[in-house]
Amino acid sequence: MDDPVLRRRFHAHAHDEARHAALFRARGLALRSQFPGDERDVITAEWLAPGERGLDDLRVEDEDAASLLAFIHLSESAAARDFGQYREVLDNDPLTRAVFDRILRDEEFHMHYSLAELERAAPGRAKYLLWKARIRRLWKAYMRLATALAGLMAGIVLTLQYYLLLPPFALLAKHAARREPRGWTIIGSAERATRNGQY
């Protein structure tokens, strides 16, 4: 990154995201200590929602500054909207609400700085780059949905094969086994002579 202003902004942004992770971890541990439960009761549903877990598969080294800023602006806009909604439903938990409130302020700042830097880095092209980034996110959301649907369909097809195609072969094998004599079969010397094998 050649732009020193942008480099400083990205560094500050990364620092904010690390602080957010620390806030979430601390609050999560505090909540977990208040409500102890069985470790097996935890449900992980990370594949359901896109976000900051790498599901958008952004390869930073392949992006120019303007495309990266468009991606950041859209991500931070979505995060600000989501954190605002989370904060609104947490009236009964003021400590968690305070965490979301603090993070929401940072997300709003990230949203505004990324748009301002995008307009500075790509004057006249900001709207085009934002639409391009939206289309890429839509495509990746479609790919996530298609992957989940393909996994579901594969599970259904394999289950049907197991219950519909395997039983006839099992019945044929059982029928063939009934025709075979039980136990060891002694092979006579005439039959042994016709075989080409060593034994």
Per-residue confidence of the chain (199 residues) as pLDDT tens digits? 678 888 899 999 999 999 999 999 999 999 888 877 666 566 555 555 544 444 456 677 777 888 889 999 999 999 999 999 988 898 888 999 999 999 999 999 999 999 999 999 889 999 999 999 999 889 988 998 999 999 999 999 999 999 998 899 989 998 888 888 787 877 766 655 566 666 5
Q: Is residue 176 part of a domain?
A: no
pLDDT for 116 equals: 92
Q: What is the pLDDT of residue 43?
A: 59
C-alpha to C-alpha distance for 140 and 144, rounded to whole angstroms = 6
CB under 8 Å, gap of 24 or more: what pairs does 185-188 form? Answer: none
Contact 100, 90 (CB under 8 A): yes
Terminal-to-terminal C-alpha distance of the chain:
75
Residue 169 lies in a domain: no
Tell me, yes or no, whether 17 lies in a domain: yes
Q: Is 179 domain-assigned?
A: no
In a domain, 98, yes or no: yes
Summary count for the chain: helices (H), strands (E): 6, 0
Asked, for residue 184, whether it belongs to a domain, the answer is no
Contacts of 117 (CB under 8 A, 6+ apart): 5, 6, 9, 69
Tell me the residue range of the domain where 34 lies: 4-156
| The one-letter amino acid at 149 | L
Are 70 and 159 in contact by the 8 Å Cβ rule? The answer is no
What's the number of domains the chain is made of? 1
Residue 168 inside a domain? The answer is: no
Q: Is residue 147 part of a domain?
A: yes
pLDDT digits (tens, 9 = 90+) for 125-160: 999 999 999 998 899 889 989 999 999 999 999 999
Q: What is the token pair recorded at 171?
A: 């019945």
